[in-house]
Amino acid sequence: MTLCDLIPPKKTSGIYTLNISQQPIMPELVFFIQKITFQGGIDCRTALVALIYLERAKLNLPKGAVGGYDTCHRMFLASILIASKFLRDNHCHRHMASIPSTWSHYYSYYYCSNSTNATATLSNLTNRHLANICGGFFPLHEINQLERAFLKLLDYQCWVTDQHIQQFVLDHRVDFSL
């Protein structure tokens, strides 16, 4: 399952639509994810919880749902923001060592010049911080909207246990190359 499998972009005459004069061209999704995870200080546990949220969201989508050109980016942002907030509010995750804590060092050589202190904010995203990291692609009011819409899509079911995470990793071990 990829992020874009959740909601396929709207098609017109067999090609993906994008009105360049009205919509900014989004960065490649993999680059965007790397940038957000490093500059946001996202640890592995937060990323896994976000993936669980994306899987839950997929199950709750109406049949035949179609997204816009930036839907994958939006779904990623909402899931990572909500996962970060859930784990920040649920302090017990800090004491569990079953999942490696961070992958920031893997991407540090890409973003060192752009990030002043990424390690100080590990998995401590706020809506404003995420809007700043997005570099103008998604202003604060859109981040707020994304969060509310994604929570509604999840039916506000944000609770994830260590067992949920372990089962998710087991179910997707091939995707993770484990």
Interhelix angle 140-153/44-60, rounded to 10 degrees, is 60
**pLDDT (0 to 100) of residue 4:** 53
Could you tell me the two tokens for 40? 């946001």
Identify residue 107 by its one-letter amino acid code: Y
Domain locations in the chain as residue ranges: 26-171
pLDDT tens digits for 101-153?
444 444 444 444 444 444 434 457 999 999 999 988 999 999 999 999 999 99
Distance CA 93, CA 125 (A): 16
CATH architecture assigned to 26-171: Orthogonal Bundle (1.10)
pLDDT tens digits for 4-62?
555 555 554 444 444 545 667 889 999 999 999 999 999 999 999 999 999 999 999 98
